[in-house]
Amino acid sequence: MAKLDFGGTVENVVTRDEFPVEKAREVLKEETIAIIGYGVQGPGQSMNLRDNGFNVIVGQRKPSKSWDKAVNDGWVPGETLFEIEEACEKATIIQYLLSDAAQIALWPTIKKHLTPGKALYFSHGFAVTYKERTGIIPPKDVDVILVAPKGSGTSLRRLFVAGRGLNSSYAIFQDATGNAFDRVVALGIGVGSGYLFETTFKREVFSDLTGERGTLMGAIQGLFAAQYDLLRSRGHSPSEAFNETVEEATQSLYPLVAENGMDWMYANCSTTAQRGALDWWKKFRDATRPVFEELYDSVATGNEAQLSIDSNSKEDYRVKLEAELEELRESEMWRAGRTVRSLRPENA
């Protein structure tokens, strides 16, 4: 394990140089990894493990669209694809990758297959951190570990196929066997992590829920909408408003930030853009900080968790979700986006 100094804060990290995939395979050579759930994270993590040479199977409800998707991805019924209980019986490591609401519903089924010495793996700290609300309390004689890729399962898979990696956090909630560290790091390397940084289940879920509601998804949509609507109200065309709000950000500037940081992106823009960005960024920080404070407090108290549990457990959740997504999809801004994307050179 390496220690990296981030300006005075020292963090424990594990890189692929010090823990290569060959070592990870050796650690897990006697293990059978069952991926339970084939939705957001399941496909990417399972296929990366398979391609990296691990003994991995998929457990999924049959019949279902996810079962069919797993078959299309090369999982073979009766060989590497099983119904959930059979996969759990065969596994020594159960990767519990269902949605948070589905984890709650299926927990009694999963728990009875957690025999001593097995490992229970999460990619989100939600279920264990909010155990009073979820009812998910693992047995004391199993390892309870976490690897949380910092991105979607789709991104994890795409980067893996491209020969790259997606950074992940790792955590150990319970080390019953004495091998939890080797198990979690080997799994983290196996699923395609670029490097692994240490966290706890609680810190992971607090930062994750804040990020998703904040700059990763919620806040960025809010900022996009506010600027787009402002430009339209001042007489700018949909094309101009969308290009100046979204297209230039995602296609030109954000990749520069990813490449070498915000200062490097500023340095590679016009002097007028530099001056304006430097003059205004602190105003936006100060304006939004109270909203982020409110958000984090809502996460820390468990309010956001309860809202998610209550909403996602309703029978009509998918219907209401589609209605909310349609509202976004059919807003003028994102209708303009469809047109702009269709005019990109690769799509023309």
Give the separation between CA 165 and CA 48, rounded to whole angstroms.
11
Is residue 193 within 8 A of residue 31, CB to CB? The reply is no
Distance in angstroms (rounded) separating the CA atoms of residues 342 and 329: 15
Phi, psi of 36 (to 5 degrees): -100, 110
Q: Which of 188, 179, 202, 178 has its CA nearest to residue 126?
A: 202
Helices 42-51 + 65-72 axis angle, to 10: 30
State the catalytic residue, choosing from 50, 113, 118, 124.
124
For 114, other C-beta atoms within 10 Å of its C-beta total 19
Structure tokens at 254: 């954000």
The three-state DSSP-derived secondary structure of 204-251 is HHHHHHHHHHCCCCHHHHHHHHHHHHHHHHCCCCHHHHHHHHHHHHHH
Q: What burial letters (b/e) apply to 312-333, b meaning 16+ CB within 10 Å?
A: eeeeeeeeeeeeeeeeeeeeeb
Which residue type occupies 85?
E
Q: Which of 55, 194, 208 is nearest to 130 (CA)?
A: 208
DSSP per-residue codes, 16-51: TTTS-HHHHHHHTTT--EEEE--SSSHHHHHHHHHH
Look up 113 and say whether it is catalytic: no
Q: Strand pairing of 9-15 and 193-198?
A: antiparallel
Peptide bond into 345 cis (omega under 30): no
Q: Which residues are catalytic?
A: 124
